[in-house]
Amino acid sequence: SRRNRSARGILPAMSFTDTTDHSCRFLARDEAATANLGAAVAAAIRPGDVLALNGSLGAGKTRLVQSVAAALGFADQAVNSPTFVLIHEYDSDVPLYHVDAYRLRDSDEFLSIGGDEVLAGDRACLIEWADRIADLLPRDHLRIDIRALGESEREFTLTANGTRSANLLREIRDHSTQT
């Protein structure tokens, strides 16, 4: 079962809109709000969860991963986009894989660098540019589409694609509204 954890303690209340059992939107007015979303994700994820992050260049995919990692005890500066390394591993209470699929030619290239092991479930997996390897993603994953609305304002659309990811989405919302 998921544990109630947050490196930041009680999270500030956040507001989700267009909420259903399988999707919601979150408007981050600034980087602090993105950090709060990252902390809510960190409080809810567990090994085996796959989060598929999509958005244009500069949308905030890496910033969200940095926020998740920071809430799990990593310094923001220690978490960078793995564009040239492709996969970073972080060990913490919830071990993470951070994948950047941007430079991958195709799904076969991801498999050739151990992508099947990354998706096997012994760590939580956050994948930037996940649409590039969509055919390899587990059916049950949490999709996060990120859209830049301004210099630091972002819209996050979270969509669950199965029971496990629906539970993860519910827990993210639950952790975000703790007072």
Give residue-wise pLDDT tens across range 5-34: 444 444 455 678 888 889 999 999 999 999
Write down the pLDDT at residue 120.
Answer: 85
**Residue 12 DSSP code:** P
Residue 24 in tokens: 């919601």
- Comparing 11-25, 70-84, 101-115, 129-143, the range with the smallest average pLDDT is 70-84
The answer on pLDDT for 168 being more than 50 is yes
Confidence of residue 155 (pLDDT cuts 50, 70, 90): very high
**pTM, rounded to two decimals:** 0.87
**d(C-alpha 108, C-alpha 7), whole Å:** 37
